[in-house]
Amino acid sequence: MTLFQVSSILFALFMSYVVRVHQQKARLTAIEASLWYSLWFLFACIAVFPHLLTGISEYFYFDRVFDLLVVGAFMVLTFIVLRSYFMYRLLLEKIEILVRDKAIAETLLQNQIKHKRAFQSKKRVTTTEVNK
Amino acid sequence: MTHIKKNTYTIVIPAYNEDKHIDAFFRRLKASSFEVSPSVLVNDGSVDTTVSVASKYTPYVLNHATNLGKGAALKTGCDFAFTHLKANYVIMMDSDEQHSPNDLLKFIDKIGEGHELILGVRSFNGMPTIPTYLNKFTSFMIQLLYGTYVPDVPSGYKAISRKMYDEIKWQATGYEVEVEIAQKIARKKIKFATVPIETIYPDYVRGMTLLDGVKVLLKLIGIK
C-alpha cells in the first residue's frame, strides 16, 4: 500500500468522524449521514482498489483512472461551488429583508409608544385642569 | 420658490459610523429651514454614537442590526418614507457633509415643476483627479451600453417620487446602488432633471474603496 493510499484512508476515516459529530448534533438526518458515510467508504475503496474503476474509465475513453477521477472531482466541485454561491445569495437576501423589516418595525413601535405617552400626559393635564 | 405642500418630501440619510459629522450635518440642515418634515436617518449598523446624536434631531432613526451597505439603507429609508410617512418625494443625502443643504432649494424647485426624478450633478472643478476620471468613465460606459448619458453617476444627492421609486427600486445593497439607478434610468429611458450641486470633497471622505470600484465595474457589465 502506498503512502497516498494510507493518507486517503486516514482522510476518509476523519471525514466519517466529522459526519458522525454533525449527526450527533442533529445537523444531519439518518439518511443524509448514511449517504455521507457511503461516499467516504467509496472514496476509501477507490483509493485502495483503483482498478475497480478501470471498466468505467475505459467506457468513457479515459486512458487512466486518474483522469476519470480528476474530471469527476471537478464536476462535483463545480456543482458544490455553484450551489453554495446560490445559497449564499439567497441567505444575503433573506438577511437583508430581515434587518430592513426589523428596523422599520422597531421605529414604528417606538414612535407609537412616544405618541401614546404624549397623548396620555396631555389627557392627564386636561383632566387636572377640569378638576380645578 | 414654487409652493410645496407640507410633508410632500422627506429627506433620507443613510449613515454608517458618522458621529463626527452627523451633528454638523443636522445643524446645517435645520439652519437651512428646508426640512419640512422630520428626516429619516438610517443607521446602517454603526458601532459609534451616530444613533444617539441623530436621535436629538429626528424621531425617525431606523437601525439596521448589521451593516448592509448604502443601497440597503437607502431602500429602508425610502420604504419607510413612502409607506409610513406618506411622503410623495424622497430627497437622498449623504451624512458625511458632502451634500450641502443649501442645494435643497434647487431640488424643491424641480419637484414643484413636476419632475419625478432629479439628479444632483457636481462640477468636476474641485473633484480629485481619480474620482473625476472614474466618474466620466462610468457615464461613458452607461451611454455606450444603454445609449443614454447619465451625468455624475456616483452622486448620491437625488430626489425621487413615489412612482419613480417603484419604477427603479434597486437590488444593490452597497455603493453599486448609484450605478444600478443610472443603469435603470438609461435602460428604461426614464426622464430625469438635473440640478447643479456643490462639489464638496473633504479629506475625511472615505468614499469608495478599490473593492467598491470593482463591484461598480461588475455591476456595469451586469454581474451582481
Looking at residue B116, its pLDDT comes to 94
Least Cα separation, residue A118 to chain B (angstroms): 13
- Of B85, B92, B53, give the one whose Cα is nearest residue B70: B92
- Of B171, B162, B31, give the one whose Cα is nearest residue B85: B162
Residue A85 is placed in which grid cell?
Answer: 454561491
Helix, strand or coil, per DSSP, at residue B1: coil
d(CA B159, CA A48): 68
The answer to whether residue B64 neighbours chain A at the CB level (below 8 Å) is: yes
The answer to whether residue A89 neighbours chain B at the CB level (below 8 Å) is: yes
Q: Where are the domains of chain B?
A: 9-220
What angle (nearest 5°) sits at the alpha carbon of residue A13, between those of residues A10 and A18?
125
What angle (nearest 5°) sits at the alpha carbon of residue B109, between those of residues B85 and B57?
40
What kind of fold does domain B9-220 have according to CATH? Spore Coat Polysaccharide Biosynthesis Protein SpsA; Chain A (3.90.550)
Contact assessment for residue B39 and residue B12, using Cβ atoms and an 8 Å cutoff: yes
Looking at residue B173, its pLDDT comes to 92
Q: Which residue of A has its CA nearest to B59?
A: A111
Handedness of CA A81, A82, A83, A89 (dihedral sign): positive
Mean pLDDT across chain A: 90
- Expressed in angstroms, the distance from the first to the final Cα of chain B is 41
Question: Which residues from chain B sit within 8 angstroms of residue A103, using beta carbons?
Answer: 42, 62-65, 76
| Positions of E strands within chain B | 9-15, 40-44, 60-64, 89-92, 117-122, 158-161, 193-197
- Of B136, B140, B180, give the one whose Cα is nearest residue B156: B180
Compute the average pLDDT of residues B196-222.
73
Nearest to B65 among A99, A104, A114 (CB): A99
Q: DSSP labels for A67-107? A: HHHHHHHHHHHHHHHHHHHHHHHHHHHHHHHHHHHHHHHHH
ipTM: 0.81
**A106 pLDDT tier (thresholds 50, 70, 90):** very high
Looking at residue B2, its pLDDT comes to 44
Chain B interface disruption, residue of A86, A107, A115, A116, most B CBs within 10 A? A107
pLDDT tens-digit map of B77-124: 999 999 999 999 999 999 988 899 999 999 999 999 999 999 999 998
Looking at residue B64, its pLDDT comes to 96
pLDDT tens-digit map of A8-62: 999 999 999 999 999 999 999 999 999 999 999 999 999 899 888 899 999 999 9
Within a 10 A sphere around the Cβ of A48, how many other Cβ atoms? 15
Least Cα separation, residue A88 to chain B (angstroms): 13
Looking at residue A115, its pLDDT comes to 76
Question: Which residues from chain A sit within 8 angstroms of residue B61, using beta carbons?
Answer: 107
Give the 3-state secondary structure percentages of chain A, helix then strand then coil, rounded to 5: 90, 0, 10
The answer to whether residue A115 neighbours chain B at the CB level (below 8 Å) is: no
Contact assessment for residue B195 and residue B187, using Cβ atoms and an 8 Å cutoff: no
Nearest to A100 among B60, B61, B75 (CB): B75
